[in-house]
Amino acid sequence: MSIPALGLGTFRLKDQVVIDSVRNGLDAGYRVIDTAQIYGNEAEVGQAIAASGVSRKDLFITTKIWIDHLAHDRLIPSLQESLHKLGTDHVDLTLIHWPSPNNAVPVSEFMGALAEAKRQGLTRQIGVSNFNIALLREAIAAVGASEIATNQIELHPYLQNRKLVEFAQSQGIHITSYMTLAYGKALQDPVIVQIARNHQATPAQVVLAWAMRLGYAVIPSSTKRENLASNLLAVGLTLSEAEMTQIAALDRNERLTDPDGLAPAWD
């Protein structure tokens, strides 16, 4: 299996808002849905999927294990609860959402439990999120690099995370970019706006096409039906080498997500 290039994120979307977003996304043609235990919307995502009429075999569903559930005896029961909420007997990808603060639960323990969840058929692939190089090394030592499908990290034109990306890719670990549009900041960038004009595209399409061209998966979210449909068109947008270089030059190590007590020491 591989990680699909473009999916629908549901971070910060709750209740009817997330139901509408997932319904509209599935109507527009999305088949990849990214959620998480801590988002508090798995049941609503499941409700929208059930109402959509889209066959489960055509969907790629990701969820993430929250830090309260990392202990060996809690991880699998928490994933089973997520499956119940989502209305499915398995997900396609399960990630560790954040590493255990202060290493309260060792990496080897929760990666071992995650690998066991895969053996039990609860998830088809496993991976991590918000892991730095040191933590990735520990995860690799625990289960092997070939078992880690992706590292989902903050990555956008202003935070290109090249050191971490290079290490992950050297191990065959795919990168999934979250916050790819930098909370919308990148959409106002003059360089990106000009490239969008060159292609008669939207700035969002340009940024998403940039990330996918680099081999990353992207999971933008939107509550607007027209934006959901528009973002899908990024798959068909090809940027020139010069345009890729222009966006590469926007990197300024500007991190937008760095929660105290949760974030590791970033590379």
How confident is the prediction for the chain on average, in pLDDT? 97
Kindly state the average pLDDT of the residues 208-228: 97
Catalytic option among 39, 158, 178, 216: 39
* Confidence band, pLDDT 50/70/90 cuts, at residue 34: very high
Per-residue pLDDT band at 39 (split at 50, 70, 90): very high
| Helical segments of the chain, H only | 15-28, 42-52, 72-86, 107-119, 133-143, 162-170, 190-199, 203-213, 225-232, 241-248
CA atoms within 13 A on the CB side of 177: 30
Nearest CA to 141 out of 103, 109, 95 is that of: 109
Q: How confident is the model at residue 1 (pLDDT cuts 50, 70, 90)?
A: low
- Residue-by-residue DSSP string for 58-98: G-EEEEEE-GGG-SHHHHHHHHHHHHHHHTSS-EEEEEE-S
Average pLDDT rounded to a whole number, residues 11-32: 98
pLDDT digits (tens, 9 = 90+) for 237-246: 999 999 999 9
Longest dimension (CA), the chain: 54
The predicted pLDDT at position 97 comes to 98
Question: What pLDDT, on a 0 to 100 scale, did the predictor assign at position 2?
Answer: 86
Tens-place pLDDT, residues 168-188: 999 999 999 999 999 999 999
Q: Beta partners for 95?
A: 64, 127
Each residue's pLDDT tens digit, 142-177: 999 999 999 999 999 999 999 999 999 999 999 999
Give pLDDT, residue 100: 98
**Catalytic residue check, 39:** yes
Tell me the average pLDDT across 111-128.
98
* 3-class state of residue 105 by DSSP: coil
Q: pTM above 0.85?
A: yes
pLDDT one-digit tens code per residue, 64-117:
999 999 999 999 999 999 999 999 999 999 999 999 999 999 999 999 999 999
Contact 93, 150 (CB under 8 A): yes
The β-bridge partners of 177 are 153, 218
- 1/249: higher pLDDT: 249
Beta-carbon contacts of 150 under 8 Å, excluding residues fewer than 6 positions away, are 3, 93, 95, 127, 128, 173, 174, 175, 176, 217
Report whether 33 contacts 49 (CB < 8 A).
yes
What average pLDDT does this structure show over 226-232? 97
Reply yes or no on whether the pLDDT at 251 is more than 90. yes
